[in-house]
Amino acid sequence: MLVKNIIAAFALAGLATATPAENIQARANSGTCGTATNPLTSHAWCCVSALPLNIFFIQGVGSNCVQAIHGAGNTFTCPTSGNTLTRQSFLCCGNNQIPSTGATPNVVCTA
């Protein structure tokens, strides 16, 4: 019984400190990922919905994502043609990422 209370306390404390990394209403269709000399081309995503957050080891999540288009340096933009018009939420997984399988994967950015 005591173990369940301790786990519940950690869970509540984690949720209390979980804050979005930026305004969750803002939907950027471009951004930077990595550095100018080392762009993280496989870590830049454009999603239908993306939420950068900090909770435990998770740094962001995105749903129905496609790879962002690499521009100059470390800048990326979301595609603006075809069925990708609704994927206007940019997400950069600065460290590790866990994409699901399929043509439009869901992505979890981890520390």
**For residue 13, is it within any domain?**
no
Q: What is the pLDDT of residues 56-79, one digit of tens each?
A: 888 889 888 888 888 888 899 888
pLDDT, residue 4, reads: 64
**For residue 4, is it within any domain?**
no
* Entry pTM: 0.68
Sign of CA dihedral 51, 96, 41, 106: negative
**For residue 44, is it within any domain?**
yes
Q: What is the pLDDT of residues 33-61, one digit of tens each?
A: 888 888 888 888 888 888 878 888 888 89
**For residue 11, is it within any domain?**
no
What is the residue range of 31's domain?
A: 20-110
**For residue 75, is it within any domain?**
yes
If one counts the domains in the chain, the total is 1
**For residue 102, is it within any domain?**
yes
**For residue 37, is it within any domain?**
yes
The Cα–Cα gap between 66 and 87 comes to 8
**For residue 1, is it within any domain?**
no
